[in-house]
Amino acid sequence: MRIRLVIFFMLGYGISYAQNALVPLDIYSTWHAERSIIDSAYEIHTEIKPLSNWEVLANGGKLSTEYVGKHLYEKSVDESYIRIEPRLNGTGFFESGSSSGPSIESFVGAAIVAGYKNKIKFSADGLLGYNEPVGYLRAVSDSLYVIPGYSRAKRQGGFGFEQTTINLSWRPSHVVELHAGRGKHFIGEGYRSLFISDYAPNYNYLRTDINVWKLKYSVIYTQMLSAQGYPNGFYPTLNKYASMHYLSLNVTKWWTVGAFETVVWESEDVTQRRELDINYLNPIIFFRPVEFSTGSSANSLLGFSSILRPARGLSLYGNVLLDEFIMREVLAPVFARVYPDSAIQTGWWGNKQAYQAGIKYHEPFGWNDATILAEVNVIRPYTYSHGNRNQDYVHQNHPLAHPLGANVLEWVAMVMWHPTANWQLGLRATFAQKGHTTSTLQAGEEPMLPTLFLVNSPKYSYPLLQGSIRDLANVRLETAYTLVHDWNLRLETSVQYRSLTSKHISENVFIFSLGLRTALWNHYRDI
């Protein structure tokens, strides 16, 4: 363990805002960058994250402050540079009513970031971590063998884990950016994403961004892992792959529309070893026709987005995700009301769709360095799932989109504020209803459960929030003080109230946290 730790320190990596190619996915960092380009937001496509530092700076954005951090090692020659920085996290959690004592989330590592002539940038990091999660997160880890948001778990009393993040970026012109490495992505304007979120662990990827006129076209190829043994633990895993396309068009200065598509396929099946399927590597085709032409059973999804900007800093956004879509089945409830005496059946199980609507307001009503957000998410049963466990929209037993999976109705409210360059304050509140499986009904709340059983089941009467309904509330008040800006090293504290109730469950806990953390990623504890 000590030898491995030394190696990670020697080969590890870091992110200095202005010198890395991508803005950290941490919500404070992302929204800070968005607020810095508030007057030219229509010229940059903020739905595609992590944001490109090159794009943000080209639009007058700010990625760092006058505070200069210290580095373990730094060297510059002409227009090239290299830096080495530490990565630290030691956070304690104290849960009311817990008999097991304090919990801990920790990691240690190092980082290297290098660049040449503002055209090529490289970053790589390595972390070794150990977690003893609070009660409700431990239940997730025990059942799925995961560290939520991090990686597969290695059972060591608590849960040990390793995490690497790598990015090599090349910008041959202001039109094209090329990225390759290991990390996460997020597509969407809101707090949650229905397309691809940063909840799941890191994965290998190739990414191309093309900016032409008012268009931005992003193509992402990924290699992920499916865990075959769910829900009985981890058995040998198989590679699976996903190709993603996202096209964003700034129709006017106040209106942006986008289209998303993805396909997930397994590395091998009973007939052949496929690995990277060349049919899905074409960056400009639609996946569904290819799926039909090849006879593939791959999992395809299609999405559409729209953003209205009626005022400075104000965004009204909406997203639709289609996993399966037959118009007559979607409209069946309407026809059944219009023709009540007909034999029209409703609630087709294949109505696998998700919807999002929200409002985000940077610097509302002249409130400098603040952001408020309100959002609603609706995800029908069985969305993101697939008949083949190796082709579901899941990576290492983590949903690739919404952390709560499917069969859920959720409301979100948030306030984030930077009163000074060093202080950050936040209030997050999420309220969700989710239908769960019973002894007589598989409710479709978990994307990692195959849907083959539905083939020989009744095809109708599968409504939203079917099964045993649970009410989930999370309210978290948080504050942080940045000690070293270039490391994004913060002293953080928070208090969280979590309530989970149903017909047979009543859990209400307060969770207090205090720690020192390098904040480069989001930690979704509202699950």
**pLDDT higher at 521 or 355:** 355
pLDDT (0 to 100) of residue 229: 52
Q: Chain-wide mean pLDDT for the chain?
A: 85
Mind listing the pLDDT tens digit for each residue in 59-113? 888 665 433 445 666 778 777 989 898 999 999 999 997 766 789 999 999 999 9
Query: Domain for residue 527, yes or no?
Result: no
**pLDDT higher at 324 or 207:** 207
Q: DSSP string of 286-306? A: -HHHHHHHHT---EEEEEEEE
Distance between CA atoms of 80 and 114, rounded to whole angstroms? 7
Per-residue CA distances from 433 to 10, 380, 405, 464 (Å): 46, 12, 12, 10
pLDDT (0 to 100) of residue 227: 67
Per DSSP, helices labelled H in 280-424 are 287-294, 327-330, 332-338
Of the chain, the percentage scoring pLDDT greater than 70 comes to 85
Mind listing the pLDDT tens digit for each residue in 361-412? 999 999 999 999 999 999 999 999 988 888 899 998 899 999 999 999 999 9
* DSSP state for residue 128 in the 8-state scheme: E
Q: How confident is the model at residue 272 (pLDDT cuts 50, 70, 90)?
A: low
Structure tokens at 363: 């610097």
Residue with tokens 């948001």: 149
**Is 6 in a helix, a strand, or coil?**
helix
Query: Domain for residue 526, yes or no?
Result: no
Question: Among 28, 22, 26, 24, which residue's Cα sits nearest to residue 371?
Answer: 28
Query: Domain for residue 524, yes or no?
Result: no
Asked whether residue 290 carries a pLDDT value surpassing 70, the answer given is no
pLDDT (0 to 100) of residue 269: 59
Mind listing the pLDDT tens digit for each residue in 164-173? 999 999 999 9
Q: How confident is the model at residue 296 (pLDDT cuts 50, 70, 90)?
A: low
Asked whether residue 415 carries a pLDDT value surpassing 90, the answer given is yes
502 phi and psi, to 5 degrees? Answer: -155, -170
Average pLDDT over residues 303-327: 93
Torsion of Cα atoms, 182 then 188 then 189 then 193, to 10°:
-90
Domain that holds residue 450: 2-518
Query: Domain for residue 76, yes or no?
Result: yes
What total number of domains does the chain contain?
1
Q: How confident is the model at residue 9 (pLDDT cuts 50, 70, 90)?
A: very low
pLDDT (0 to 100) of residue 451: 76
Average pLDDT over residues 215-229: 86
Which contiguous run of DSSP H or E holds residue 517? strand 506-518
* N- to C-terminal Cα separation, the chain: 32
Q: What is the β-pairing status of strands 103-116 and 120-132?
A: antiparallel
Candidate from 280-289, 446-455, 478-487, 504-513 with smallest mean pLDDT: 280-289
Residues 169 and 177 sit within 8 Å (Cβ to Cβ): yes
pLDDT (0 to 100) of residue 40: 81
**pLDDT higher at 486 or 53:** 53
Distance between CA atoms of 502 and 322, rounded to whole angstroms? 29
Q: How confident is the model at residue 13 (pLDDT cuts 50, 70, 90)?
A: very low
Distance between CA atoms of 184 and 413, rounded to whole angstroms? 24
**pLDDT higher at 299 or 494:** 494
Average pLDDT over residues 496-507: 93
Q: What residue ranges in 194-313 does DSSP mark as E strands?
A: 203-212, 215-227, 237-252, 255-266, 299-311
Which contiguous run of DSSP H or E holds residue 482? strand 468-484
Asked whether residue 5 carries a pLDDT value surpassing 80, the answer given is no
Per-residue CA distances from 310 to 40, 42, 266 (Å): 14, 11, 43
pLDDT (0 to 100) of residue 65: 44
Residues 118 and 163 sit within 8 Å (Cβ to Cβ): no
Torsion of Cα atoms, 52 then 360 then 310 then 217, to 10°:
30
pLDDT (0 to 100) of residue 517: 93
pLDDT (0 to 100) of residue 275: 60
Q: How confident is the model at residue 526 (pLDDT cuts 50, 70, 90)?
A: very high
Q: Which residues 6+ apart lie within 8 Å of 194 measured at CB?
A: 188, 303, 319, 320, 321, 354, 355, 356, 377, 379, 401, 402
Candidate from 237-241, 421-425, 469-473 with smallest mean pLDDT: 237-241
Structure tokens at 444: 């479709």
Q: How confident is the model at residue 158 (pLDDT cuts 50, 70, 90)?
A: low
Asked whether residue 516 carries a pLDDT value surpassing 90, the answer given is yes
Q: How confident is the model at residue 236 (pLDDT cuts 50, 70, 90)?
A: low
* DSSP state for residue 196 in the 8-state scheme: B
Q: Which residues 6+ apart lie within 8 Å of 150 measured at CB?
A: 129, 131, 161, 163, 201
Asked whether residue 162 carries a pLDDT value surpassing 70, the answer given is yes
Distance between CA atoms of 316 and 356, rounded to whole angstroms? 11
Conformational region of residue 347, where left means phi above 0, alpha means psi within -120 to 50, and beta covers everything else: left
Give exposure, 430-454, as e/b (b: 16+ Cβ within 10 Å). Answer: bbbbbbbbeeeebbbbbbbbbbeeb
Q: What is the β-pairing status of strands 203-212 and 146-147?
A: unpaired
Asked whether residue 153 carries a pLDDT value surpassing 80, the answer given is no
**pLDDT higher at 404 or 327:** 404
Residues 44 and 55 sit within 8 Å (Cβ to Cβ): yes
**pLDDT higher at 408 or 55:** 408
Asked whether residue 323 carries a pLDDT value surpassing 80, the answer given is yes
Distance between CA atoms of 508 and 501, rounded to whole angstroms? 8
Query: Domain for residue 299, yes or no?
Result: yes
**pLDDT higher at 288 or 430:** 430
pLDDT (0 to 100) of residue 77: 75
Asked whether residue 318 carries a pLDDT value surpassing 90, the answer given is yes
Which contiguous run of DSSP H or E holds residue 495? strand 489-501
Q: How confident is the model at residue 285 (pLDDT cuts 50, 70, 90)?
A: low
**Is 27 in a helix, a strand, or coil?**
helix
Question: Among 235, 244, 233, which residue's Cα sits nearest to residue 203?
Answer: 244
Residues 220 and 205 sit within 8 Å (Cβ to Cβ): yes
Residue with tokens 């109730």: 501
**Is 28 in a helix, a strand, or coil?**
helix
Residue with tokens 């609630």: 347
Q: How confident is the model at residue 417 (pLDDT cuts 50, 70, 90)?
A: very high
Residues 110 and 125 sit within 8 Å (Cβ to Cβ): yes
Whichever domain contains 233, its CATH number is 2.40.160.130
